[in-house]
Structure 1
Amino acid sequence: MAIRLTYEDGTIRASGPEREREAVREAVPSDPILEYDPRSLVHRAPAFRYADLRVRLDERDIEYADLVFDRSFLRGLVSAYELRSYQQAALDAWDDNGNRGVLELPTGSGKTVIAMKAIETLACPTLIVVPTIDLLNQWREELRAEFDIPVGQFGGGVQSMEAITVSTYDSAYLKADSVGDVFSLVVFDEVHHLGGEGYREIARLLAAPARLGLTATFERPDGAHELIEDLVGPVVYRTSAEELAGEHLAPYDVKRIEVSLTEREREEYERNQETFVSYLRESGIEMRRGSDYQELVKRSGSDPRAREALLAKQHAREIVSNAERKVEQLGAILERHHGERIIVFTAHNDLVYRLSERFLIPAITHRTGTKERREVLDRFREGTYSRVVASNVLDEGVDVPDASVAVVLSGSGSEREFTQRLGRILRPGEGKRALLYELVSEDTAEENVAARRR
């Protein structure tokens, strides 16, 4: 008697011929990942437990008919990439963990190359899930160039499936249950996105036994990375920009420059900050956790003073982020690095356009259309533009051309954001030494924000 494993609506069914189902029930011992359905006389497990279920059946010498993933189109898949030592170590660590787990490597270190080698090695139907259309297009172009085969696409108005298919997280969420037994390898690029409440269902509904997560910063402030470990696997390999700098990434320096507020800015900042702090003292909110800020937002819906405090905090943040002397300091940096390729990062779109107009720099924000953004980045890549200014839109999910200097005028306290921005200038080059400037308004709450992200 052989147990038959089948996929149905996001679950794996373990069953046998109808006349033998009672024998199947007795043959399969109780297990935390299996639930017995007495009505249909089958055992069920969530689809993402498929690999675990196979291991358990093998350990108990129980025969089973496996799911069949069609590999016919991928025989003889060959990549020309030669992995660097740390890339090979990362792939080996993933392979040693049963082809499951997360690789945490800095931006620019070649995570895509490692995934290409994993696809070549397993030569099985593969789904690559990415956060943006820009990354979707980038992956498809590289896959087609490397393997010379058709590459499918879910997203951007296209729904075409091939043996290797690239999808946005949004499209994968909509299609996961209908393609749950098609792919045996799934690659989650920027895997930290999988911690989002809806996106988790993608990994739960797919039966793919091989799972590879790629990210520069795995841990999430909300702790959802622990859920990702259950769905994809733990971090099996981790390295940092500091460890790779010099040999595999460009050596770099981070230079922090403190600027003072103007007299008018200081007066306005102190007034708004006092309004905010006074309310916190009176309300007992300590702002030590993200939930404390959410409590303030919640109260602002019904308490006018809470709303006043929230608006005052936002205004104080805008003052220090957009300080005039930061703009003056940026002008000096642009002059000092004349002829070098520079990316300027800010947290506010208004400042992006202000800087664009003042220094005649191409601007990219979420309002910038896909065609225009591509044109700006192409001209930046070819050297027509030597500098560009952007809001958070270039932090991740976009293929950004090589640069040697980055200037952070404002940002959050997120370590991920800082790591992504630093990674934009770390691609190696002969004689290159990257430099990141961090401009911080002195004697303000921005100093604490800068300390958190570092």
Structure 2
Amino acid sequence: MVGNSMKPLIVQGDSSILLEVHNDSFEAARADINPFCELEKSPEHIHTYRISPLSLWNGASAGIRADEVLEILEKHSRYPIPENVSFRIRDLISRFGKLKLTETEDPAILQLHIDDKLIDAEIAANRKLARYLTRHGNSFLLQLYDRGTIKLELIKLGYPVEDLASLKKGDPLDFHLRDKRLDGSDFQVREYQREAAEAFVGNNRPGTGFGTIVLPCGSGKTIVGMTIMDLLKTNTLILTTNVAAVHQWIDELTDKSTLSREEIGEYTGDRKEIKGITIGTYQILVWRKDKESAYKHFQLFRERNWGLIIYDEVHLLPAPVFRVTAELQTVRRVGLTATLVREDGAEENVFSLVGPKRFEIPWKQLEAQGWIAEAICHEIRIDLPEDEKIHYATADQRRKFRIASENPIKMEITSELIANHREDSILVIGQYIDQLQKISKALKAPIITGKTPNQERERIFEDFRRKKIHVLVVSKVANFAINLPDASVAIQISGTFGSRQEEAQRLGRILRPKEKNSYFYSVVSRYTVEEEYAANRQQFLTEQGYKYHIEMWGRDEFIHD
């Protein structure tokens, strides 16, 4: 087979793609394939991507055609595209649009049209779907409240549904965004934020008004949500990760819109207010007395005639909420996230029940435009102490990870890194509370964990923002939706196994735009399972164009990955 060695891609018959990192066209090829591929591995020389059904359907929902996908692959591929891969791409993308949901004269009934006799026959013979679908000529009828369930079951079978049934408007809400903040400074929605909002709202016709928006941490996803609210002007339910994030939404809305604090409801463990704009947490929604009890707070979804639901950090949407989301298919709904990666593999749920990806912009593109900070990433590898090596060697896999994560030498390297960044605001982030408490005590720095009362938590965050404290130790509670604009250094001493989503979110804590660079340090125990997990954690950020500088602490070695 004759190839062109100057091109960076190798497309293989199993639908995997090898991308040569050192090729001059690496950056361009990566940007071109990102909309329809998933990154699987990212070692130093060759990155491996996968063309999956969901990645192709996300591309198709954004308007990418099969011909465009193949043109991109042929443009960058060293060898001809295998015929079976070309066929698979055309077949999978062609499935998007073959199944359409539309309304009927009865508002409680929907109609499923299938533009393919073989698919029609397969679905008609499926016993699981039979309880929801009734044959009606060349199509099927289903109950309105089964809309989400059917979409999810069909995508599991490999058939995405194009949902063209109308969405209700909800009760109106009269407000608008300001052009001046409360302090008198100018406020303007950035161009990419407005594009994201408009991509979601579309022309307000069937097939629009539901989906996910993917933007980097620190790029202003809250502003995108507020812009969507401004475009729709309807009763809105906003769900987010914790009470601090609820208060941040309230602060942003009162600062940048004509809404007053009294017009915004807070639905948390502390308060149960339901108003035209209501902001709650996922935790309160999924609370119940015991495993046998009902989720009593699910009633929040039915308390008002909502015209919009915003799922903040949608990649964290708890599994029980998907059940309600399946019923709420008549309401406009948007998911906001920095990464659609879910470690539980529930990306299909987000695609079917919240909606496909409507807008995405590369992290490095916003960095180049100055909208997020330039971040320099380091992985610092350290040895285990001699007295820990025997314990590590005889431990099971889970215990091995904890021993490596709690390596006591991490205390020493953390202190040294802090000493090197005396002028910076620093976050020390970890997984294990015992480890964090020891470091907090040694550094004489405040600590925030899940047990820290909300009032104290917000006071500490405010002290950090005002530079009353220079170093803050945080557990997983700071992974998401925390606005610490002046944080410029993050030191990660332990994490949740190989979580790509967590790595991206932790880097995001230091990406608010600022005049100087930000630094992200991940401290890893050498020759342990922690190295393997670290490689997996970095995959998403590597896909975005970030490079980790690998350092062996205490040695003269320095390796660029």
Shorter-chain TM-score range? 0.7 to 0.9
CA distance in 1, matches of 2:428, 2:351: 34
SS in 2 for 1:34: strand
Matched, 1:46 2:146: yes
Structure 1 equivalent of residue 512 of structure 2: 427
Cα deviation, residue 176, structure 1 = 4.2
Aligned partner of 1:385 among 463, 466, 469: 469
Give the letter aligned to residue 70 of structure 1.
D
Q: Where do 1:247-266 residues align within 5 Å? A: 247-266=370-389
Structure 2 residue 322 is the aligned partner of structure 1 residue 200: yes
Tell whether the 8 Å contact from 2:485 to 2:513 is kept in structure 1 after alignment.
no
Match of 2:196 in 1: 90
Find out whether 1:228 has 2:354 as its counterpart.
no
Letter aligned with residue 112 of structure 1: T
Match among 140, 149, 165 for residue 278 of structure 2: 165
Q: 1:219 to 1:315 in 2, by over 3 A?
A: closer
- 1:178/1:257 CA distance change after superposition, 3 Å: closer
Shift of 1:215: 0.8
Matched, 1:358 2:442: yes
Q: CA deviation at 1:409?
A: 1.1
Asked if the contact 1:190–1:216 (Cα under 8 Å) also holds between the matched residues in 2, the reply is: yes
Partner of 2:530: 446
CA distance in 1, matches of 2:464, 2:312: 25
- C-alpha separation between the residues in 2 aligned to 1:434 and 1:88? 27
Letter matched to residue 155 of structure 1 = T
- TM-score normalised to structure 2 length: 0.62
Please state how far the C-alpha of 1:111 moved relative to its aligned partner.
0.3
Q: Is the 8 A contact 1:126 1:187 kept in 2?
A: yes
Please give the alpha-carbon distance, in whole angstroms, between the structure 2 residues aligned to 1:70 and 1:93: 22
Q: Does the 8 Å contact 2:147/2:329 carry over to 1?
A: yes
Quick one: structure 1 residues 447 and 33, their matched pair in 2 at CA, closer, same or farther if it must change by over 3 Å?
A: farther
Contact persistence 2:341–2:500 (CA under 8 A): no
The Cα offsets for residues 108-154 of structure 1, whole Å up to 9 and x where unpaired, read as 11000011010001111111111222212221232233222401232
- Report how far residue 162 of structure 1 moved: 1.8
Q: Distance in 2 between matches of 1:33 and 1:198?
A: 27
Q: Aligned residue for 1:374?
A: 458
Residue 235 of structure 2 is matched in structure 1 by: 125
Where does 1:285-296 land on structure 2 (aligned, <5 Å)? none
Shift of 1:85: 2.7
CA distance in 2, matches of 1:314, 1:417: 19
Whether the 8 Å contact between 1:402 and 1:424 is mirrored in structure 2 is: no
The answer to whether the aligner puts 1:189 opposite 2:332 as a matched pair is no
Q: Is the 8 A contact 1:180 1:207 kept in 2?
A: no
**Separation of aligned partners in 2, 1:130 and 1:329:** 34
> Does 2:176 align with 1:77?
yes
Asked whether the equivalents of residues 482 and 509 of structure 2 are also in contact (C-alpha less than 8 Å), the reply is no
What is the deviation of 1:439?
1.0
Report if aligned partners of 1:249, 1:427 keep a CA contact under 8 Å in 2: yes
8 A Cα contact 1:229 1:235, kept in partner:
yes
Root-mean-square deviation (Å): 2.8
Give the gaps of 5 or more residues in structure 2. 1-103, 111-135, 150-160, 180-186, 287-296, 539-561
What is the percentage of aligned positions where both structures have the same residue?
A: 30
Secondary structure of 1:186 counterpart: strand
**1:153 maps to amino acid:** E
Greater share of residues in helix: 1
Q: Deviations over 1:240-284 (max 9, x none)?
A: 433322421111110111111221122221232xxx3xxxxxxxx
CA contact (8 A) 1:180 1:208 kept: no
Moved more, 419-428 or 196-205: 196-205
- Pair 1:147 & 2:246 matched: no
The code of the aligned residue for 2:514 comes to G
Q: Residue 13 of structure 1: CA displacement?
A: 6.0
1:56 Cα deviation after fit: 5.1
Contact 2:175 2:259 in 1 (8 A): no
Find the residue that maps to 2:359 and give its secondary structure. strand
**Counterpart contact for 2:198–2:228, Cα < 8 Å:** no
Q: CA deviation at 1:30?
A: 7.6
Taking a change above 3 Å as real, the CA distance of residues 172 and 325 of structure 1, as seen in their structure-2 partners, is closer
The counterpart of 2:365, out of the listed 243, 247, 252, is 243
Residue in 2 aligned with 1:268?
A: 391
The aligned amino acid for 2:392 is Y
**Partner of residue 437, structure 1:** 521
- Is this contact kept in 1: 2:329–2:353, CA < 8 A? no
- For residue 116 of structure 1, what is the aligned residue in structure 2? 226
Once residues 301 and 221 of structure 2 are traced to their aligned partners in structure 1, the CA distance between those partners, rounded to angstroms, is 28
In the alignment of these two chains, the number of paired residues is 375
Name the structure 1 match of 2:210: 100
Partners of 1:391 and 1:248 lie apart in 2 by: 27
Instruction: Please say which of residues 418-427 and 205-214 is displaced more in the overlay.
Output: 205-214
Change (3 A) 1:252 1:33: farther
Whole-angstrom CA distance in 1 between matches of 2:175 and 2:394: 68
- Verify the 8 A CA contact 1:172 1:202 in the aligned structure 2: no
TM-score, scaled to structure 1: 0.75
Runs of 4 or more above 6 Å deviation: none
